[in-house]
Structure 1
Amino acid sequence: MKPKQINRDQHNDIVTLFHSESDRGAAVLSGSYVENVLGNYLRHKMTDKSLAEELFNTNGPLSTFSQRIAVAQAYGFITRDTGETLNYIRKIRNHFAHHPFEASFNESPVRDWTERLKSILPLREDQDEVREEMDYRQVYLISCAYFCLTTQGRMGDRGRHE
């Protein structure tokens, strides 16, 4: 499926929407938003855009979040730390999607994955106190937002496609 282009101006509206959702809704929607941004970034990096539909279609080699993460990291489009962050976001999103009655940011395994996100969240050293005060849901949403904003910034206006 072709990733939907969302411009940077819409980002704040989307973040506000995620904050008004239940934990499950926030986890699934924001994780899917991250997957969409990663797909747009990979399309942006393509030199032959005529192959995009084939690569991103339902059975294409870039149809899943995990495949997109692996390719982006393998080709150096994202760092190992970013790949690790994206894999935790993917795991959390999938856990909430597939365990609707059991999933919670405050219980294992989501709590453990979010602890890992918290430890790799790129904050300045003088913000360590802020890091410690964040709850698990905030860590997840901030990790999602950070990736989306920095990636959309790397694409600039050239990241927009039809």
Structure 2
Amino acid sequence: MNPFIGPEMSEMFSGYYGLIKNESDRGAIIVAVSLFDVGLEKLIKATLVKSNPENNDPLFSGPTAPLGSFYSKTELAYRLGLLRKNTRDMLHYLRKLRNEFAHETHTVSMNDKPIEDKIKNLFLYTPDMYTILKDEVVSNGNFMEVDIDKDKIMDQIPVRHLFNLYFALNASALNGSPHETVRKTA
């Protein structure tokens, strides 16, 4: 049974999809990784003894916070057994992609061939998400903005749209409700 089916998952997916749909390519990557960062922090905090005061946990914020970076949160979540290895590797891959987009001075596009290949390579880390997208989301026509041949569906989706779908599914799995996540980041 697919754990990503149902009205609650559909609502979460729609919420995350909507968060980045109208962003630039650069903005989409940066916002996506930021939301994964928030999700990791929530996941780790749920495992740890509560800090006092809870709103300003020195492990996560401040100049000497050991868990202040996306990298350190990803590694700790993996080492605590909260993430599978392939999910950890995918998050590190996204971190590097985010850095590439954030630190370029010229316009970077997901349609640039090297970037397009990197986006498509995300599915190598989480083949289960590829299957879910193909079988449960895309083949049902949800969120499709273009007409496509169902037999070659994943090859025909524009890379930006593929990234949006991939992000929305993974963010829903990691973060829960986008409304809770956005509130926590504000």
Kindly report structure 1 stretches of 4+ aligned residues shifted beyond 6 Å: 8-11
Output one character per residue of 1:64-116: Cα deviation in whole Å (capped at 9) or x when no partner: 11111111111210001111211122122221111141422133653332121
Structure 1 SS opposite 2:59: helix
Count of residue correspondences:
149
Structure 2 SS opposite 1:54: coil
Q: Structure 1 pair 152/140, CA: closer, same or farther in 2 (3 Å)?
A: same
Equivalent residue number for residue 66 of structure 1: 71
Output one character per residue of 1:6-64: Cα deviation in whole Å (capped at 9) or x when no partner: xx977744531311111111111122111111111111122x11176121013211111
Q: Which has the larger radius of gyration?
A: 2
TM-score, structure 1 length as denominator?
0.74
**Unaligned 5+ runs, structure 1:** 1-7
Equivalent residue number for residue 91 of structure 1: 96
* Higher relative contact order (CA closer than 8 Å, sequence separation 6+): 2
Q: Is the 8 A contact 1:117 1:139 kept in 2?
A: no
Equivalent residue number for residue 32 of structure 1: 34
Q: Is the 8 A contact 1:104 1:110 kept in 2?
A: yes
1:72-151 equivalences in 2 (<5 Å): 72-107=77-112, 109-119=114-124, 120-121=126-127, 122-124=129-131, 127=135, 129-151=152-174
Task: Give, as a single letter, the amino acid of the residue that structure 2 aligns with 1:27.
Answer: I
Q: Is the 8 A contact 2:74 2:88 kept in 1?
A: yes
Equivalent residue number for residue 51 of structure 2: 50
Task: Give, as a single letter, the amino acid of the residue that structure 1 aligns with 2:173.
Answer: T
Task: Give, as a single letter, the amino acid of the residue that structure 2 aligns with 1:57.
Answer: S
CA-atom RMSD in angstroms:
3.1
Task: Give, as a single letter, the amino acid of the residue that structure 2 aligns with 1:50.
Answer: S
Deviation at 1:134, TM superposition (A): 2.7
Q: Is the 8 A contact 2:71 2:92 kept in 1?
A: yes
Task: Give, as a single letter, the amino acid of the residue that structure 1 aligns with 2:50.
Answer: K
Q: In 2, Cα distance between the equivalents of 1:45 and 1:110?
A: 35
Q: In 1, Cα distance between the equivalents of 2:75 and 2:114?
A: 22
Point out the more displaced range, 122-131 or 143-152. 122-131
